[in-house]
């Protein structure tokens, strides 16, 4: 059902990163549901984490240990969220096992979980499977890790790309999972990106935050924010170039551009594999007085059930767009200045239907499985873009049947 998305295939190894996965039987099936990452000494790690008040136990630990981290351990099938003090102890127990196996200290291990909320983690099973995983660590484990972290995903999500810093080729590889409960708030479901660039800890944090704002923080499937969202970035420093020590460094934007490109591919892959998605929709709002103006309108449209069902039906329904724009909290919005385009077809100008617009032209755009909705607010010069899906019967079926 994913929109123009295929399983990841060739993922490049990143010097300094070893990975393994293993089956822990968390949901009683035999597939790999555990991934382990080990980074070489000197790696800088940064992340952005869910802003949910109910941030899961592993997220609380991962956030604390960012500056000391040398390892990630990720399980699917159980989110270890809303599990209180016992859940926190479970996360500690898993980290202790990783520390023992990799001969590092516990604060060098960041834990991550995704799956059902509110149930205890099967720690003994996980710790058993970790023995096997630790023995199998290797540089080519990205693809199997991408598979191990999936939940309702139907497609394995991962990309690699390269950029050049001081004549040195840098490799970036990233994997992600996520399909529903997707409106990341400062981060996304789960995404892991590593590269062999040489950056300081502060620069790593800037890079991951800046990239999140233009990728994972610009997607929504259903407006629901997970308790476990994390977007993690590791820079091993194995490449030989001048260290990037902050936003002012001339190579900062070279690396950021590559990181944004990779992060957008991963974020868009999550939307393409959105629960029940039949359309991949880009919403571009321009002419706002501020980024907030544009995001208010874009999210109101992207999360309106009436707009989403119209997109599913391929109904170029100007009425539902102006309903959604009309309720967006944008002070001073003036309907008489609003324009709407579906790809390059102008649907509305001056707040009402364009004189040469016909339903046939609008419907032809929406009959495609990918298109761009552009709204011009006519108030200023800001613009924002985000990516979303339609709302189909299949979304209801998946979520009426699956316990998240």
Q: Pick from 285, 330, 345, 386 the residue near a copy of itself by CB under 8 A.
A: 330
Tokens 């127990």 sit on residue: 93
* Cβ pair 300, 322 in contact under 8 A: no
Gap between the Cα atoms of 276 and 273, Å rounded: 8
Three-state DSSP state, 220: strand
Q: Does 248 bind a copy of itself (CB under 8 A)?
A: no
Bin 118: left if φ > 0, else alpha if -120 < ψ < 50, else beta: left
Contact 267, 215 (CB under 8 A): yes
Q: Please check whether residue 249 is in contact with residue 339, taking contact to mean a CB–CB distance below 8 angstroms.
A: no
Catalytic position from the list 188, 220, 278, 300 = 188
Which range in 82-90, 142-150, 190-198, 230-238 contacts a copy of itself by CB under 8 A? 82-90
306 binds a copy of itself (CB under 8 A): yes
Q: How far is the CB of 69 from a copy of itself (least distance, A)?
A: 24
Determine, following the binding rule CB under 8 A, whether residue 192 of this chain makes contact with a copy of itself.
Answer: no
**Which residue number, 6 or 327, has a Cβ lying nearer to a copy of itself?**
327
352 binds a copy of itself (CB under 8 A): yes
Q: Specify whether the CB–CB gap between 271 and 221 falls below 8 A.
A: yes
382 touches a copy of itself by CB under 8 A: no
Is there a catalytic annotation at residue 188?
A: yes
Can residue 135 be called a binding residue for a copy of itself (CB under 8 A)?
A: no
Answer yes or no whether residue 181 interacts with a copy of itself by CB under 8 A.
yes
Rounded CA separation 188/310 (Å): 26
Stretch that binds a copy of itself, among 15-23, 95-103, 197-205, 313-321 (CB under 8 A): 313-321
224 forms part of the interface with a copy of itself (CB under 8 A): yes
Q: What is the β-pairing status of strands 157-165 and 109-116? A: unpaired
> Angle at Cα 388 formed by Cα 358 and Cα 372, nearest 5°?
35
Find the helix or strand (DSSP H, E) in which 276 lies. none
Cβ 140 to a copy of itself, closest distance in Å?
35
**Do 120 and 83 contact (CB within 8 A), yes or no?**
yes
Q: Which residues bind a copy of itself (CB under 8 A)?
A: 50-55, 79, 81-84, 86-87, 116-118, 180-181, 183, 185, 222-227, 303-306, 309-310, 312-313, 315, 317-320, 322-328, 330, 333-336, 348, 350-353, 391-393, 395-397, 399-401, 403-404
Active site residues: 188
């Amino acid at each position: 059902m994913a929109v123009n998305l295929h399983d990841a295939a060739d993922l490049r190894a990143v010097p300094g990163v070893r990975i393994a996965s293993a089956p822990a039987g968390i949901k009683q099936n035999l597939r790999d549901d555990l991934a382990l990452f080990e980074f070489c000494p000197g790696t800088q790690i940064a992340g952005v984490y869910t802003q949910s008040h109910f941030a899961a136990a592993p997220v609380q630990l991962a956030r604390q240990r960012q500056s000391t981290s040398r390892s990630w351990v990720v399980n699917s099938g159980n989110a270890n969220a809303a599990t209180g003090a016992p859940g926190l102890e479970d996360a500690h127990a898993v980290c202790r096992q990783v520390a023992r196996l990799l001969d590092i200290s516990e604060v060098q291990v960041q834990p991550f979980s995704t799956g059902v909320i509110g149930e205890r983690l099967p720690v003994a099973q996980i710790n058993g499977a970790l023995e096997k995983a630790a023995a199998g660590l290797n540089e080519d484990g990205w693809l199997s890790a991408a598979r191990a972290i999936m939940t309702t995903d139907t497609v394995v999500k991962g990309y690699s790309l390269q950029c050049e810093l001081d004549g040195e080729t840098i490799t970036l590889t990233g994997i992600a999972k996520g399909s529903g409960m997707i409106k990341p708030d400062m981060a996304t479901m789960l995404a892991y990106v590593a590269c062999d660039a040489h950056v300081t800890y502060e620069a790593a944090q800037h890079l991951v935050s800046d990239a999140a704002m233009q990728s994972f923080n610009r997607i929504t499937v259903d407006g629901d924010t997970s308790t476990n969202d994390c977007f993690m970035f590791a820079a091993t420093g194995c490449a030989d170039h001048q260290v990037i020590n902050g936003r002012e460094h001339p190579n900062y934007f070279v690396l950021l551009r590559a990181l944004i490109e990779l992060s957008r591919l991963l974020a868009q892959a999550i939307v393409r594999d959105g629960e029940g998605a039949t359309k991949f929709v880009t919403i571009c709002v321009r002419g706002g007085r501020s980024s907030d103006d544009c995001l208010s309108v874009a999210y109101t449209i992207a999360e309106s059930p009436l707009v989403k069902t119209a997109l599913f039906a391929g109904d170029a329904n100007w009425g539902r767009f102006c309903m959604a724009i009309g309720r967006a909290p944008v002070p001073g919005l003036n309907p008489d200045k609003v324009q709407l385009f579906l790809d390059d077809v102008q649907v509305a100008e001056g707040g009402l239907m364009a004189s040469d617009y016909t339903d046939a032209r609008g419907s032809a755009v929406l009959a495609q499985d990918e298109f761009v909705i552009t709204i011009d607010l006519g108030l200023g010069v800001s613009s924002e873009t985000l990516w979303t899906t339609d709302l189909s019967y299949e979304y209801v079926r998946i979520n009426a049947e699956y316990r998240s």
